[in-house]
Structure 1
Amino acid sequence: MVSVHVQPCWFCFSQRILDCSPETSGAIGLELDQQQSDVRIRLRFLRGLIMRTKCNQAKWVLLGVALFLTLSAASWAQMTEYQENQLLGMESHVDNLTGHATAGAALYKRFCIGCHGVIGDGEGENAQWIDPKPRNFTIAQFKCRSTPTGTLPLDQDLFDTIGRGISNSNMPQWRPLTAEDKVNLIAYVKHFSTRWTTEKPGTPIEIPPEPEVTADRIKTGQALYKRLECWKCHGVEGRANGPSADTLQDDQNRPIKPFNFHDNTKFKCGSTDRDLYRIFMTGLDGTPMPSFADNIKPDEAWDLVFYLRSLQPMHSKEKAIAKQLGLKPIDPNAPAPNAPASQPENK
């Protein structure tokens, strides 16, 4: 019979040294199962404890976030209410009249809120049906101004717009309003933007006296129309069908159409020659129509006025002179009158 010596193996488990010899393996197996069961119970307990700890931590984090948001919202609400009260102290001044925002609130709700919205952002309930879209008063950017591009308008400019309306839009002439109503309404419109508290209106541009209409001035105006590339938007005949016409957008990335001189007699910001001159030199802020104050001389702007008048449908002195001249639409590809003729290539 062969004697077999079994080398004991040692296990360290739960801080005890167990002799795992064959003689005791059965008992050890039962104890090991019990130990493993205890470990599983302890692991489940620890896992539950960790989960409860994480849950409690999450609760505290969420509670902290909620408290922060509540305090921030309360602070924001207080600041908003404070700013609102400050802005409701806004005034307007036209001649010897002084308008007050608090007095204009009821007028705005009655006449303006449907298009321009409760907060003056141009998103009233009627806005979705209107083209072009109503003005957004919160950014204090206005088309019809006597001041340079990028600056705030005068109160008088807003007064004139309310009384005149804006042609080719849904902004009517508010004839039922008295002068006092208008200045109060202007003050309320101004209260929608803090720009009026940090900036002053620009200095009105100077408009020189209108010169006599002549054939030379109309021809010079046509040359300017080409050089300034007005035709790219308004078309070679002023029909608003230039190559860029379908791509134009306003300051809020909404499609906008150029003015059609061929079919319209009134401009957005008036109907006189001075109104058209002013548009050239101030631009229509919020639209692709720029100011040409840095591109043409003050006297040249009158030449452009006269040429554009010759494109309009009504009978005018400018149109009669253009007809006598046999003036044809511009050719964008033709060289400028003073430009040297291109030489044929040598072959």
Structure 2
Amino acid sequence: MRKVKGFFKKYRGMMPVFFLMLLSPALMATLQKTKDAYGLTHEIDTGKKVYQERCLICHGVEGNGKGPVDVVRRAEKTGRIIEIYSRDFTVGVFKFRSTPTGCLPTDDDILGTIADGIERSFMPSHKEVLSSEEREAVKEYIKAFSFRWEEEDPCDAITVKKPEGVDSPAFAEKGKMVYKEMKCWECHGYQGVGDGPKADDLKDDWGKQIRPFDFTTGALKRGSSPENVYITFTTGLDGTGMPAYEDSPSEEDRWHLVAYTLKLMKLKGRAE
């Protein structure tokens, strides 16, 4: 007993240090949780603020695509009227992805769409008006609208490696054959102008009528670099009638198809 008392008497001045040493793991864990909670709360608040200021008008308060401006109409040179509907984030189905059909997009896919916008769709670029922190925050806010982000594992992005010769007439000529064999003409027409025999019957997953792309009008919404066209053919456009061709035709023939459609778009050799 004397030894115990002697120990406390001898090291009495060190007791606060011993106490902090015992407490520090729990203290650090609490501080980290507080920091994490603050960081998460700050990100959610920032994402909500950005969404309300820049996204709500089209995508709606609940992210279901029913904002005050939920559909816009665009006239093409041919006189065809295209109706463009705002994305419904609640179902977690995205057209523009680097992942296989049926998969969620990667974070980079979403950030790319936010930053670059979607050509020909009235979805503007936010690269110059939002900071990287704000784009990250609104990306997380958008993901919160759908249960899929909590219940599904992410898919890997598809690797894209452009072969030499995509700009060559030989590639385009082979692509013309693939276009015919894969029956692309049934929707897009024999000349690629979107007037195929099935063109008037296409509907998206929400039952809204959609029009097949007229290649002769120029760039795709996703962008028309060879790589972007290839990934569109490979992943498909989920929620629409455009299927994925990851399994068929072969990778080589998909690049042939890229060459032919770029020729139809008169974008052969265009740099982006």
Q: Same fold (TM over 0.5)?
A: yes
Find the partner of 2:185 among 222, 225, 231. 231
- TM-score normalised over the length of structure 2: 0.77
* Residue of 111, 118, 133 corresponding to 1:166: 118
**Equivalenced residues, count:** 221
2:257 to 267, 284, 304: 304
Please tell me whether the aligned partners of residues 146 and 153 of structure 1 are also in contact (alpha carbons under 8 angstroms).
yes
* RMSD (Å), alpha carbons: 2.0
Q: Deviations over 1:105-150 (max 9, x none)?
A: 0000000101100100000111155531100000010011000000
Whole-angstrom distance in 1 between the partners of 2:133 and 2:117: 17
CA distance in 2 between counterparts of 1:225 and 1:272 reads 19
Preserved CA contact (<8 Å) 1:208 1:299: no
Equivalent position of 2:58 in the other structure: 115
Distance 1:217 1:114, change over 3 A: same
Q: Counterpart of 2:244? A: 291
| Preserved contact between residue 104 and residue 188 of structure 1 (Cα < 8 Å) | yes
SS of residue paired to 2:95: coil
Q: Which of these residues, 218, 221, 233, is aligned with residue 175 of structure 2? A: 221
Corresponding residue of 1:100 = 43
Higher relative contact order (CA 8 A, sep 6+): 2
Quote how far apart the aligned CAs of 1:101 are.
3.0
Q: From the superposition, tell whether residues 313 and 298 of structure 1 become closer, same or farther in structure 2 (CA, over 3 Å).
A: closer
List runs of 5+ in structure 2 lacking aligned partners. 1-36, 74-82
The 1:317/1:191 distance shift into structure 2, 3 A limit, reads closer
Tell whether 2:217 aligns with 1:274.
no
CA distance in 2, matches of 1:128, 1:309: 28
Instruction: Mark the runs of 5 or more structure 1 residues left unpaired by the alignment.
Output: 1-88, 93-98, 319-347
Tell me the equivalent position of 1:197: 150
Under a length normalisation based on structure 1, what TM-score does the superposition of the two structures give? 0.61
* Preserved contact between residue 72 and residue 84 of structure 2 (Cα < 8 Å): no
- The amino acid that maps onto 2:203 is Q
Counterparts in 2 of 1:201 and 1:217: CA distance versus 1, 3 Å: same
Structure 2 distance, partners of 1:311, 1:254, is 27
Aligned 8 A contact 2:71 2:86 in 1: no
Alpha-carbon distance in structure 2 between the residues aligned to 1:123 and 1:304: 36
Query: CA separation in 1, counterparts of 2:72 and 2:247?
Result: 37
Preserved contact between residue 203 and residue 210 of structure 2 (Cα < 8 Å): yes
Which residue in 2 is equivalent to 1:75?
none
Matched to 2:237, the amino acid is L
Aligned-partner Cα distance in 2 for 1:160–1:286:
20
Residues 239, 169 of structure 1: alpha-carbon distance in 2 compared, 3 angstrom cutoff: same
Matched position secondary structure for 1:100: helix
